[in-house]
Amino acid sequence: MTGRYRSVPHAAMAASYCQGTIRGMDATSFNSEHAAGRLRKAMKGLGTDEHQIIKVLTEHNNAQRQEIKDKYKSCFGTDLIEDLKGELAGHFESLCLYLLMPARYFDAFCLKNAMKRLGTKESHIIDILVSRSNMEIQDIKTVYKELFQADLEEDIKSEVSGDFQRVLVGLVQGKRSVEQMVEDAAAKADMEDVYNGGEGLRFATEEDVFNKVLVTRSIPHLRKVFELYKEYAGKDIEGAIIGEMSGDTQKAFLAIVNYVKDPLKFFAKCLFESMDGKGTDDERLMQLVVSHSEVDLQDVAEVYEKEYKSSLAQHIREDTSGDYRKLLLQLTQSGESQGVAGQKKESS
C-alpha cells in the first residue's frame, strides 16, 4: 500500500491523500524466499550484518514482512523473531521486532506495554485510542484478549481512575458516530452543553458532558461544535479545557480536539513530544514511527518541519544513536529516498 484516502472520521479533510514512507516491493519484485535468505545470511556465522537487516525490513511493507517471517521458518526451520532476539539488543532489537508485528497486534502490544511497567504510560495509550477507527478498536480488543487472555477495558480500569478512566473507557467502546452530515441545531445544542458544563458553571466542571460529546460525536460534527464554541465563547475550546481541567483528563480531551482538528499536526506534535524534554521516550517514538510508516508518515514529517523548524530526521539524529538511529531514519525517509524500485508517489 503506497498511501490511502482516509475517510473524514479518520483524517483532517475528506479525500485528503496520505502518504506513507514505507511502500514495499511491487508484486513482480517481491520474493519472500529471497528476502528470508538475505536475513538468514545476515545472522549466520560470525557477526551480524545489521545493514542488511535494515534494508530487508524497510524495503518491504508489513504484509510482505509477514510472508517473509513465515517463509523464513519453513525454509530454515527456525523462528525469525527468536533469531533476531539472539543476534540483536536494545532499542534496535525492539524496533526490528515491532516491524514484524501485524498492525493491530502491534497496537495491542503497545497498550499492554504502556500498562505493565512501573507507572502507566498515559500518553502512549492516548495516542492509540484517540486516533483509531471504530473497526480498528474492535480489532485491537479482540487481539488483546487473544494475546494476553485479558480484557482491555478491565486492564485500563485497573491502571487509571476517575475522569481519565471514563474518557479511556469511552474511547475503548469504539462507538464514535460516523455520520458525515452535520445538523447545525444538534451541533449548537452540543456546543451549549459543553459551554454550560465548563465555563458556564460557577463552581465545578461537568466532565461527563465533555466526555459524551468528545468521545461519541462524529468528526465533522465536532468540527462544527468547535467552530460554534469559538464564536459563542470568544476563544477556542482548548482554552476551556485547559482552564477547567487538569492532569491526564486534560491531556486526553486536548488530544481528541487536536486530532479532530488536524490529525497530521497532532501526530507531528506527538513525535516532537517523544523527543522533547528530559531524555527521549523511545517506546513512544517507535510506536508512532512504526504505526504511521505505511499510512501518513511522509505527510506528518512535512508538517513536523513546518511546525518545529527542523526536520523529523534531524531530531532523530540528535536524540538517538547506532543501528537504532539508522533504522529509524530509514523508516522516516520517503520511498524514493529508500531506493525502492518503481515506488513513486501517487497523485491524488
Tens-place pLDDT, residues 100-135: 999 999 999 999 999 986 678 999 999 999 999 999
Tens-place pLDDT, residues 150-172: 999 999 999 999 999 999 999 99
pLDDT at 214 exceeding the cut of 90: yes
pLDDT at 342 exceeding the cut of 80: no
The pLDDT of residue 244 is 87
- Model confidence band, residue 348 (pLDDT cutoffs 50, 70, 90): very low
The pLDDT of residue 197 is 78
Instruction: Give the predicted TM-score (pTM) of the model.
Output: 0.90
Q: What mean pLDDT is predicted for residues 17-39?
A: 94
CA-CA distance, 348 to 346, in Å (whole number)? 7
CA-wise closest residue to 295 among 147, 133, 149: 133
Check: CB of residue 104 under 8 Å from CB of residue 143: yes
The pLDDT of residue 119 is 72
Q: Which amino acid is at 333?
A: Q
Q: Which residue has the cell 479545557?
A: 241
Top pLDDT among 253 and 348 is at 253
Check: CB of residue 254 under 8 Å from CB of residue 212: no
- Lookup: cell for 39: 536475513
Q: Which amino acid is at 262?
A: D
Distances (CA, A) of 219 to 214, 253, 295, 343: 9, 14, 19, 32
pLDDT at 7 exceeding the cut of 50: no
Any idea which of 89-93, 210-214, 241-245 has the lowest mean pLDDT? 241-245
Q: With pLDDT > 90 as the criterion, what percentage of the chain qualifies?
A: 82
Radius of gyration of the chain (CA): 21
- Model confidence band, residue 326 (pLDDT cutoffs 50, 70, 90): very high
CA-CA distance, 138 to 152, in Å (whole number)? 11
The pLDDT of residue 117 is 66
- DSSP-assigned beta bridge partners for residue 160: none
pLDDT at 186 exceeding the cut of 80: yes
pLDDT at 142 exceeding the cut of 90: yes
The pLDDT of residue 12 is 39
- Lookup: cell for 162: 476517575
Tens-place pLDDT, residues 226-264: 999 999 999 999 998 998 899 999 999 999 999 999 999
The pLDDT of residue 338 is 44
Tens-place pLDDT, residues 306-321: 999 999 999 999 999 9
CA-CA distance, 157 to 12, in Å (whole number)? 31
Dihedral sign (CA 198, 203, 204, 206): negative
In the chain, the domains with their CATH numbers are 22-87 (1.10.220.10), 184-261 (1.10.220.10)
CA-wise closest residue to 223 among 175, 181, 261: 261
**Would you call 148 exposed, middle or buried from its count of C-beta atoms within 10 A (0-12, 13-18, 19+)?**
middle
